[in-house]
Structures are given as C-alpha cells and as structure tokens.
Amino acid sequence: MRPEPEAAITGRPGLLVFDHAAEAAAHVGQIIADTLNRTPHTVLGLATGMTMLPVYEWLLTAKRDGRLSFSQATSFNLDEYIGLGAAHRASFATAMRRMLFDGSDFAPGRTHLPAGTTIDLDKEAARYEAAIRAAGGIDLQLLGIGRNGHIGFNEPGSAFDSTTRVVTLTEATRLANRGDFPGSQDVPRQAITMGIGTILRSWRIVLLATGSAKAAAVAHAWSGVPGPSCPASALQGHAAALFVCDRDAAAGISDWQHGGGSR
C-alpha cells in the first residue's frame, strides 16, 4: 500500500513554465510515460478538452515507438455530459476514443467514464466514486482548468470536499464547449463529475494550462486565497500538485521557474 501524502497546510503547488504550449504538453506526456514505465499498473485520472490533445498525441507517439504501454494501467475520466450516450459524437467517451483509447493498448474494461444516460444519475455517481476507491484511488490525475477556475466540471461554489455527483453547468462553461456541438444541438446543462474531494485524494496531480485566456484562473488557483470562487485553488492544499503552463497561461504569476525547475 502506498502512503497517503501529507496535506499541505500552507504553500503552493509546484509550477513549471515553458516558452511554448507544445513544450508544456510534451512535459506532461513525459510525466505520464515515466509514471507508467515505473509503475505499469498505475491508475490514471484523465481529462478531455483541446488542451489535452497534444498530450495524448505525444503519448500515442511514444506507444507506437515502443517507449510506453498502457496494457496494465487503469483510467478514470473526470466527467461526462448527462444525456449523451457513449456513442454520441460530442460525448467525452467518443472524444477519449478518438484522442487516446483507440490508438492505445489499454486492456478491455480498464478505461472508465461516468454513464451520462443512466436513469438513476445519483446512483451512477455513487457507483463511479466507489469504483475509483475500489481501484485503490487515482495515482496520477491530469487536469485542465476552465476560465472560471473549474476543474473537472466543478464550477465556482463547489465544496472542496465534494465527491462524484451531478452538477449544473454555468453558461460560461457551456459557451466555452459550444464548439463540440455543431449544428442545432444545444450543449447539455448538466454533467456527472468527480468532485473536488475526489480529485484531492489523488496521489499526484498535474494541471496543464496553456494560452492567455487561462492566465487569470491560473494566477488565482496557484497563489490566490483558496476558496470556492476558484475551484482549482483547492490544489493549494495538496502536497503533490504541479502546474505546468506556457508563458501565456502563467502571465499573471510573477515568480516562476523556467521548465525543468519547480517551486
């Protein structure tokens, strides 16, 4: 059994800043690959979104080159829209198949997402939370960050001890995700997401942020007063969290070290 990390009372997550977004994504890919090569049965927490695409592309290249295998790993994704089946073109299940799963060698049944079309959604949320615990918890959790500081679909106001549950998405989040729903279909108004408390139980957390649109959220999350107005600020209470950013996303932070070094 691995030891549980000591909770940080004060302080900040680690921070690495790279000149370019591609360099930041490659570094995150290397962290995941190193983890899997050292511990092949790692439980990964995965995220969707365009920020993650170059990370998954890097990992698939490493897999094709024989430098990486997912064959003994398990994954749990952060979230899924309510009302979208796994085959829906805008579901996160479809996105993950396209971005990572179809090109990887994950064993059948070892990649998990919440089921957004289950009749009893609260029961599904409880089932997913229990499945994560039964797997031994998340060893390495990958996160993005929303412009309003959300992680997973934990919108501002989410409790730091929240578990997997049904959430209502803000209009800002729905607008940001509009590009995934071409045509007349509206972005769903609800989702099932891992809670902040679920995320904080992860052994290690790596948050990737790129682009100037994320700068304010990153600055608040990394060094602002922790609180529900910025869900990602909860990571300040985790002993093994790391922010990996490009210069644009880190523009609101005055003291940082260039890639390869960390605070």
In tens digits, what is the pLDDT along the chain, a chain of 263 residues? 343 333 333 457 999 999 999 999 999 999 999 999 999 999 999 999 999 999 999 999 999 999 999 999 999 999 999 999 999 999 999 999 999 999 999 999 999 999 999 999 999 999 999 999 999 999 999 999 999 999 999 999 999 999 999 999 999 899 888 888 876 578 999 999 999 999 999 999 999 999 999 999 999 999 999 999 999 999 999 999 999 999 999 999 976 555 544 43
Respond yes or no: is residue 150 known to be catalytic.
yes
Give Cα separations from 225 to 37, 158, 248 (angstroms): 37, 15, 22
Taking the CB of residue 150, how many other CB atoms lie within 10 A of it? 26
Catalytic residue among 150, 220, 246, 248: 150
Between CA 222 and CA 252 the distance in angstroms is 10
Residue 88 annotated as catalytic: no
State the Cα–Cα distance between residues 196 and 201, nearest whole angstrom. Answer: 9
Catalytic site residue 155? yes
| Known catalytic residue at 20 | no
Q: Strands 165-168, 190-193: parallel, antiparallel or unpaired by DSSP?
A: antiparallel
Closest by Cα among 1, 63, 64, 78 to 32: 63
How many Å apart are CA 250 and CA 210, to the nearest integer?
A: 8
* Strands lying side by side in the sheet with 190-193: 79-81, 190-193, 165-168
Beta strand pairing call for 111-112 and 204-209: unpaired
pLDDT at 3: 36
Distances (CA, A) of 23 to 58, 146, 158, 219: 11, 20, 32, 20
List 148, 177, 180, 246, catalytic entry = 148
Which residue in 129, 155, 180, 246 is the catalytic one?
A: 155
Q: Considering the domain 14-246, what is its CATH architecture?
A: 3-Layer(aba) Sandwich (3.40)
Residue from 79, 139, 180, 246 carrying the catalytic annotation: 79
Diameter of the chain measured on Cα atoms? 50
Domain layout of the chain by residue ranges: 14-246
* CB-CB neighbours of 212 under 10 Å: 13
